[in-house]
Structure 1
Amino acid sequence: MTSILIADDDFISLEVLKAMLSSYNVNIITAQDGKHACDLALEHQPSLIILDYEMPVMTGAEACANLRKNSQFKNIPIIALTGHQSSTELNTCRDAGMNQTLHKPVSPEAIAELFKSYLPNI
């Protein structure tokens, strides 16, 4: 089964995103900080990773940059999740190697587009 890793330190945001993803045939793995997300990514090899930008221990951009150093994550889609839309933050995400940005609150339509783009066989 396809696995998706979601990392967000906001419990409510994490639960809402999990609920949206539950309508798809995927295994959902969750983390509440960037370091834990990196550890879980190495352990589970997810097909898609969604990282909140602002997290303790390691930001989403830092976690992405860390994962991109590992060849097994060169082609895995990594998506930024953010409540902000500053050009500085968006550039940081892009520079870290993130493929796309989802803005909070995330809509079911945005999730559908994400799947269509990155996991079309789901």
Structure 2
Amino acid sequence: MTTKEFPTCDVLSTITGILMGPIGGVYEVLNFMTGEDVFTHQIPRISREATPVVLKMHPELEATITEAEQVTEDNYLTWLATWEERYGKSITVPQMTIAEHERIDPLSELAEKVSPDKIAVVSP
């Protein structure tokens, strides 16, 4: 199993759906876990796939999902400090297997959500 450490704020943002740091950290976690370049519209779906994978490796993180319901703009730094004290400054996550992650072409997935006439593909 291939694993990698990421900042606690990035892993918890990914599994709780509450942004605890820069959004780039969520992209990094999901890009590693999927082996793909994740697009913004894919984050919710892939985060739902990643959560049980992370929790299987770290069942102690289950509490953060419920606790995250209490996080606000005013207290998120306090919660982050609490979680970093509890779990450390970084958390190791595994890459997902084909059974854990459904690979969907990003543009096809976007076309399911947005009218195709509103999608502009730019090629270098």
Question: How does the TM-score come out when normalised to structure 1?
Answer: 0.34
More strand by share: 1
Higher relative contact order (CA 8 A, sep 6+): 2
Task: Tell which structure's C-alpha radius of gyration is larger.
Answer: 2
Question: How does the TM-score come out when normalised to structure 2?
Answer: 0.34
